[in-house]
């Protein structure tokens, strides 16, 4: 039987004293040995460490912006669907094809196509006959222009030819206006038939036909000088178209005299 060494307090390796290499937490040793025997864990419970997560700075842009990523994916999906179902260059506004069996639009019998919404063309209204001026005098009434006084004594158709032995032919029809011209001034005045005009019902102005006036005998109003107080008698010849209706004549006493109008109706 082996002999135990004597007990020395504070010496390591003695019964009841922990050694220098004694590990804490072993059963029956250390200050918490009694707690381990009673079912209490030797160390207080601690929260387990969180699972490993990648630092925020190292995450991708899509991972850090999930909402924007989802919206972008939705928009891209809509664009793709529109390209698939709405592509091909089709247009809902394209005009429908006209069936060959459809009846053709009715056209007017005369072949003239009227635009929709347009009123039928109206016949131009016939213009009223030109009326002489209110201050125009009539046949047989003297009227003055400068120092010359005119009196229209009559109007008659001249036919298509004028002259006795030698004749001239009208382009249309001749009209003869008989006048008297009197000098009311103090000096001689020259009168010429070329300064006189005729107005028809369409407002057209006609000049005299001086060459035809030569074929009238004793016609003193071609180009003549009239002394003060004297009177000459003659005929103004007008070559008018067949549809012309004479309304009045414009008579002038000279280059610096105003015209006066005499009604032929």
Confidence of residue 79 (pLDDT cuts 50, 70, 90): confident
Confidence of residue 35 (pLDDT cuts 50, 70, 90): very low
**In percent, how much of the chain has pLDDT > 70?**
56
Output the average pLDDT for the chain: 75
Contact 234, 222 (CB under 8 A): yes
Confidence of residue 235 (pLDDT cuts 50, 70, 90): very high
Write down the pTM of the prediction: 0.51
Which CATH fold topology does 143-263 show? Immunoglobulin-like (2.60.40)
Q: Where are the domains of the chain?
A: 143-263
Between 92 and 224, the higher pLDDT residue? 224
Does position 201 have pLDDT exceeding 90, yes or no? Answer: yes
What confidence score (pLDDT) does residue 36 get? 45
160-185 burial by CB neighbour count: b if 16+ within 10 A, else e? eebeeeeebebeebbbbbbbebbbbe
Q: What does the block give as tokens for 159?
A: 């036919």
């Amino acid at each position: 039987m082996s002999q135990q060494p004597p007990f020395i307090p504070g010496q390591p390796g003695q019964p009841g004293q922990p050694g220098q290499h004694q590990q804490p937490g072993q059963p029956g040793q250390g200050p918490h040995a009694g707690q381990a025997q009673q079912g209490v864990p030797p160390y207080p419970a601690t929260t387990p460490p969180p699972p490993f997560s990648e630092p925020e700075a190292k995450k991708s842009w899509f991972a850090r912006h999930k909402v924007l990523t989802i919206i972008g994916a939705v928009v891209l999906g809509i664009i793709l669907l529109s390209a698939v179902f709405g592509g091909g260059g089709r247009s809902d506004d394209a005009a429908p094809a006209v069936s060959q069996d459809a009846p053709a639009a009715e056209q007017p019998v005369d072949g003239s196509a009227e635009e929709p919404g347009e009123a039928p063309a109206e016949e131009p209204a016939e213009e009223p006959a030109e009326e002489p001026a209110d201050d125009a005098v009539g046949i047989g009434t003297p009227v003055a222009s400068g120092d010359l006084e005119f009196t229209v004594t009559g109007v008659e158709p001249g036919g298509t030819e004028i002259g006795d032995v030698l004749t001239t032919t009208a382009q249309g029809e001749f009209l003869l206006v008989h006048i008297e011209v009197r000098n009311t001034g103090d000096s001689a005045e020259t009168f010429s038939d070329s300064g006189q005009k005729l107005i028809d019902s369409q407002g057209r102005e006609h000049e005299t036909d001086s060459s035809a006036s030569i074929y009238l005998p004793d016609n003193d109003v071609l180009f003549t000088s009239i002394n003060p107080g004297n009177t000459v008698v003659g005929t103004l010849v007008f070559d008018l178209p067949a549809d012309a209706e004479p309304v009045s004549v414009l008579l002038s006493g000279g280059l610096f005299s105003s015209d006066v109008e005499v009604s032929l109706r």
